[in-house]
Amino acid sequence: MDTFLQQLINGLSLGAIYALIALGYTMVYGVLRLINFAHGDVYMLGAFAGYFLANALNLDANPSVVGAIAVTMGAMAACALIGIVIERFAYRPVRHHSRLTSLITAIGVSLLLEYGGQVVFGATPRFFPQMIRSEIYTLGGVQITNQNLLIIVVAVVLMFALEYIVHRTRIGKAMRATSFNLSVAKLMGINTDLVIAFTFALGSALAAVGGVMVALAIPRIDPLMGLMTGLKAFVAAVLGGIGNIPGAMIGGVLIGLMETWLGATAYSTYRDAVAFGVLILILLFRPAGIMGSSVTEKV
Amino acid sequence: MKDYWCQRVKPTIVCTMADVRDSSPWRATALVAVALAFCAAAACERRPGAAGDSGGDVVIGMYGSLTGDGASFGISSREGTELAVAEINAAGGVLGGRKFRLLVEDDQSKPEEASNAVTKLITQDRVVAVLGEVASRRSLAAAPIAQKFQIPMISPASTNERVTAVGDYIFRVCFIDPFQGEVLAKFAYNDLKVRKVAILRDIQQDYSVGLTDSVARNFKALGGQVLEPVSYSTGDADFKAILTKVRSERPDAIFATGYYSEAAIITRQARELGMKMPMLGGDGWVGDALKNGREALNNTFISNHYSGDNPDPIVQGFVSAYRVKFGREPDAIAALAYDSVKVLTDALNRAKTTEGPKLRDALAATDLPGVTGRLKMNAQRNVDKPAVIQEVTYANGDVKFVYKTTINPG
């Protein structure tokens, strides 16, 4: 029983990581119908931004919660800027071409960030400083660290915040209008370029939070860290119903639980295959995902 | 939108292809290019064993993981190698006054790049001998190439049994995993007094798989119980699922037979799951990133090639020279790399030539004192050396390996 509950906690903590990143995928897709494959790499840049900031503040020697929040904010700002730059120079020029063009551009940006990252940061993994002193809580045979707890809480809070922004604010209304029909939204006086830039900034800032949180719990960061995690988060977004914010959360947690469950069997080395097996099944049997509704495509 | 895009692109491609097919100048150019490529390849072709020695510097090659997951191995072995080369050149060089010229290739911690690096060193740079790798998987990838060209290869620290079995041109200056596994099993059973152990192995690394088998075999032979090994892959970062499974089986100790990057995270996550038992690893734990395990490293033990605390003047001479040159303490990998250059120098001087076959014979007859113990080649081109057990401790942001005991072979 202890083992089962522990695996549940393990799966939840892992799933919360995927969910954090899946939120960004799903939001950009919701607005632009673009799968931003570079999102996983923005997550990597977020972790590196956090790494440099935390080292500049010397947080490894004197861990503090205030410092950790400052580092997260800084990484969010840096990634928001990177997101805007990527949108402006990579996606906007091809926005009016076919969707496939944008998709291929996204893959290109992803590769640029991964291998550019190897040139700039080097391929050798780095250790993320311990910004918050690690603590372990025990509840009847089940252990959880404060960092894992933090990831779960942050993911849930951000999900609600995002729901609020999209459905209750003015900019959220503009985002939904842009998503519904870009040209009509423009005719109605919405500055769609600004809205799209904001969407990217917000999505990238979320990725930065993910990067810093994950690096706190699993302190090894390298330029290719966004590759596999990003792909799995993408599957999580598809599983939950891409474009659907609570769906991304559910998808992430499900992928995390499934991976953990497989990790506990004799097939532990096949755990990376879980996400992709799920992707194939979802696309075969329920392409709209768990929470998604199938919409007739306008032609 | 879609139609528009196709119309715009398709004709362009068709017309380009048609152009290509019809234009004979293009075809001629292509043929010339292909022909040139073949010529270049032919020029690179090197006859086995031919050193093409015309005097001058003696060119030796080192390949290692200077970047990537195993970067600590590559950097330490390069520094150890550089120190030895500098000392030998300063003392008058080899073969009666010729200097060493060291070429270093990075394999990015990838086996396929290791093969490429060794091919380049042998066919283009025409090295007389190859030094490397540390990780057994990468040594195994590159060794067949050195063997094919009959260029001796000396691995400083690959402990997997099969590395030197690739061929008679492949040597090493460290002990092998069947012995290392025995040492670890004995220490766990006799000194830590544990009876039931779990093993975590990196399924992608020949080293980890081989060491796991050896630990399990030896621990069972002593009368202990070994749980079914659990597997992970290089680069994994979440071990909680497999560790929770291990925890439910209540072992007295855990072996993690993989490399340092994963070992750091494994120890950390094990402690986060409340697992306080001793953890053990092999020489693969010796890497800078191990310090990432922090306080979780307390109560862990490793087997290693040498201890920097050894008062032997040859060890202390090396330690202080290394400290002066690189400003840090040498690890076992650096010591082994240093020894590998000394072995090569000794063999070159005895062979009195850089020719592959003669150098090979000289290497096979190696017997000299080294920093990591007596370096006497046996018939399998391995050296029989004692292993040390060290306790890993973490304090003030730094990892220390504290000498516990020495275990002799046989």
CB pairs under 8 A between A and B: 87
Are A260 and B240 inside 8 Å of each other by CB? yes
pLDDT at B6 over 80: no
Q: What is the pLDDT of residues A194-222, one digit of tens each?
A: 999 999 999 999 999 999 998 988 888 98
Report which listed range, B43-52, B135-144, B234-243, is most confident: B135-144
pLDDT at A275 over 50: yes
- Domain range B178-304+389-407, CATH architecture: 3-Layer(aba) Sandwich (3.40)
A3 is a domain residue: no
**How far is residue A229's CA from residue A223's CA, in Å, rounded to a whole number?**
12
Question: Is the pTM for the entire model greater than 0.90?
Answer: no
Which of the residues B65, B69, B205, B240 would you substitute to probe the A interface, choosing the one with the greatest number of A C-beta atoms within 10 Å?
Answer: B240
A268 is a domain residue: no
Chain A residue with Cα closest to B397: A61
Q: What is the mean pLDDT of residues B304-308?
A: 89
A195 is a domain residue: yes
Are B292 and A268 inside 8 Å of each other by CB? no
pLDDT at B38 over 70: no
Task: Give me the number of domains chain A comprises.
Answer: 1
Interface of B with A (CB under 8 A): 1-2, 5, 67-69, 71, 108-109, 203, 228, 230-233, 237-238, 240-242, 244-245, 247-248, 261, 264-265, 271-274, 289, 291-292, 294, 397
A43 is a domain residue: yes
**How far is residue A17's CA from residue A12's CA, in Å, rounded to a whole number?**
9
A170 is a domain residue: yes
Q: Determine the 3-state secondary structure of A190 from DSSP.
A: coil
Question: Domain map of chain B by residue range?
Answer: 2-44, 58-174+311-377, 178-304+389-407
Which of the residues A2, A134, A269, A271 would you substitute to probe the B interface, choosing the one with the greatest number of B C-beta atoms within 10 Å?
Answer: A269
Nearest to B265 among A11, A60, A218 (CB): A218
| Domain interval for residue A67 | 16-226
Which of the residues A139, A218, A227, A260 would you substitute to probe the B interface, choosing the one with the greatest number of B C-beta atoms within 10 Å?
Answer: A218
Q: Determine the 3-state secondary structure of A23 from DSSP.
A: helix
Are A143 and B272 inside 8 Å of each other by CB? yes
A33 is a domain residue: yes
Q: What is the pLDDT of residues A83-112, one digit of tens each?
A: 999 999 999 999 888 888 999 999 999 999
Just give the CATH number of B58-174+311-377: 3.40.50.2300
Which residues of chain B neighbour A6 with C-beta distances below 8 Å?
Answer: 244, 247, 273
A138 is a domain residue: yes
Q: What is the pLDDT of residues B157-168, one digit of tens each?
A: 999 999 999 999
CB atoms within 10 A of CB A133: 10
Nearest Cα to B178, choosing from B206, B225, B139, B213?
B213
Are A123 and B237 inside 8 Å of each other by CB? no
The ipTM, to two decimals, is 0.86
**Residue A274, pLDDT score:** 86
A22 is a domain residue: yes
Asked if domains B58-174+311-377 and B178-304+389-407 share a fold, the reply is yes
Q: What is the pLDDT of residues A245-269, one digit of tens each?
A: 899 999 999 999 999 988 888 787 8
Are B247 and A136 inside 8 Å of each other by CB? no
